[in-house]
Amino acid sequence: MRPFQFVRADDAATAVQTVTANPKAKFLAGGTNLVDLMKLGVERPDLLVDLTRLPFDSVDVEADGTVRIGTNVRNSDLAAHPAVRNGLPLLSQALLAGASGQLRNMATVGGNLLQRTRCVYFQDVTKPCNKRQPGSGCPARQGDHRNLAILGASEACIATHPSDMAVALAALDARVAVSGPDGDRETPLAELHALPGEHPEQETTLRHGELITGIAVPPLAYAERSAYRKVRDRASYAFAVASVAAALDVEDGVVRDVRLAFGAVAPKPWRAHAAEDALRGRPATAASFRAAAEAELAAAEPLRDNAFKVPLITNVVVRTLSDLAGETS
């Protein structure tokens, strides 16, 4: 790890100013990913601005049902919060499916959204990686890519985004509150993460110095009929091989509305719009669910060792939506 200066932020404006002024400064929240990557030499900030004493630590439900979550809310607190647990089951389930009890006690909302890929080449500074070192190449295409992307990847990069929480938030149309040198703004979560294209090093649409201060989850009338299903190689404490966040609104056996997002298959939490479009107005049957998943996965570009994710996601979509439809009826 390289040496760095450390300051504790007392207010958001100063934090933003401090990081904006130093191109090699970074915000530090729970540390579960940043400190890990600093130890690996992947991240080499020369200044860390500690955000954890900033007051973005509450979960508030507004009159219209919007749930506002401060960026410093720890993953464990968020999962246990009654508004999330009861009102947004898929979000609570996604949080609890992630990492371990210890890590959930450390990890924050903002940090979770901004965690970086688990691609083994990205994490090893002795190897090429277009994301870490633009233009150096991507060994994953020929090498170990069993757990890498089948959707949204590019010639330059096939990394996956590792978050569980973000997949649920993508399904919920969450918005991200950002504070920056030019003031505050809000952006749809769908626009927070960038696809790699020719520039996998640009992972988000945040500018340097911009700080995530919170998340707003708009009300979804049928959010209580939602679920997050994570498939992983170990029964617990493992990153997803594939995951599905789903919410389903069925009336008289017909899909009135649906939300679907996939995890561990793309460089960002993957909102399955094509599948959703294919489902609305269709009968809530396994056949429709399968056709919808196939519609989304028509764009999949699987590689030698990750082609199994196509049938896997398809099966999980069918099962998850069938279970939700069963609950609904």
Partner 1 sequence: MQLHVNGRLHELALDNRTTLLDALREHLGLTGSKKGCDHGQCGACTVLVDGRRINSCLALAVTLDGVEIRTIEGLSDDGALHPVQQAFLDRDGFQCGYCTPGQICSAVGMLDEFDQGWPSAVTTGGQPAALDAGEVRERMSGNLCRCGAYMNIVPAILDVADAAAGRSSA
Partner 2 sequence: MTQTDVRAVGSGLGRIEGPAKVTGQAKYATEQDDVQDVAYVWPVPATIAKGTIRRIDDAPIRAMAQVLAVLTPDNAPHLQPAEDGELAVLQSRTVSYRGQFVAAVVAQTLEIAREAAERLQVEYDVEPHDVELTQDHPTLYKPDQVNPSFPTDTEQGDVDEALGAAANLVDHTYTTPALHNNPMEPHATLASWDGDELTLYDSNQGAYSAQQTLAKLFGLDPAVVHVVSQHVGGGFGSKGTPRANAVLAVMAARMVRRPVKLALHRHHMFAVVGYRTPTIQRIRLGADAEGRLSAISHDVVEQTSTVMEFAEQTALATRIMYAAPHRRTTHRLARLDIPTPRWMRAPGECPGMYALESAMDELAIECGLDPIELRIRNEPERDPESGKPWSSRSLVECLREGAQLFGWGDRDPRPGTRSDGDWLVGTGVAASTYPAYASPSTATARAAADGRFVVRIAAADIGTGARTALTQIAADALRVSTDFVRVEIGDSAFGQASLAGGSMGTASWGWAVTKACTELREKVERNGEVPVDGIEVQAETSAEIEARSGYKYQGFGAQFAEARVNIDTGEVRVPRLLGMFGVGRIINPRTARSQFIGGMTMGLSMALHEEGVLDLAFGDYVNHDLAEYHIAACADVTDIEAHWLDEHDERVNPMGSKGIGEIGIVGTAAAVANAVHHATAVRIRDLPIRLDKLLGRLPG
6 binds partner 2 (CB under 8 A): no
Residue number with CB closer to partner 2 (171 or 316): 316
Q: Which of 60, 62, 144, 224 binds partner 2 (CB under 8 A)?
A: 144
Specify the 3-state DSSP secondary structure of 263. Answer: strand
Nearer to partner 1, 97 or 255 (CB): 97
The residue among 17 and 105 lying less far from partner 1, judged by its C-beta, is 105
Binder among 23, 82, 143, 188 for partner 2 (CB under 8 A) = 143
Is 63 one of the binding residues for partner 2 (CB under 8 A)? no
> Closest Cα to residue 6, out of 34, 212, 133?
34
| Residue 106: contacted member of partner 1, partner 2, none (CB under 5 to 8 Å, by partner type) | partner 1
Q: Does 19 bind partner 2 (CB under 8 A)?
A: no
> CA 249 to CA 44: how far, in whole Å?
46
Tell me, what amino acid is at 77?
A: D
Q: What are the φ/ψ torsions at residue 109 (nearest 5 degrees)?
A: -60, -50
Give the footprint of partner 1 on this chain (CB under 8 A): 1, 3-6, 8, 28, 31-32, 35-36, 38-40, 48, 50, 52, 76, 79-80, 85, 92-93, 96-97, 99-103, 105-106, 235-237
The verdict on 121 binding partner 2 (CB under 8 A) reads yes
Nearest Cα neighbor of 159 from 196, 185, 134 is 196
Task: Give the C-alpha separation, 34 to 48, whole Å.
Answer: 10
Lookup: tokens for 197: 């294209």
Q: How far is CA 231 from the centre of its chain?
A: 16
Residue 199 near which of partner 2, partner 1, none (CB within 5-8 Å, type-dependent):
none
Query: If binding is defined by CB under 8 A, does position 24 make contact with partner 2?
Result: no
CB atoms within 10 A of CB 296: 24
Contacting partner 2 within 287-326 (CB under 8 A) = 305, 308, 311-312, 315-316, 318-319
Query: Please, what is the minimum distance in Å from the beta carbon of residue 134 to partner 1?
Result: 25
Strand arrangement of the beta sheet that strand 5-8 belongs to: 5-8, 47-50, 25-28
DSSP 189: G
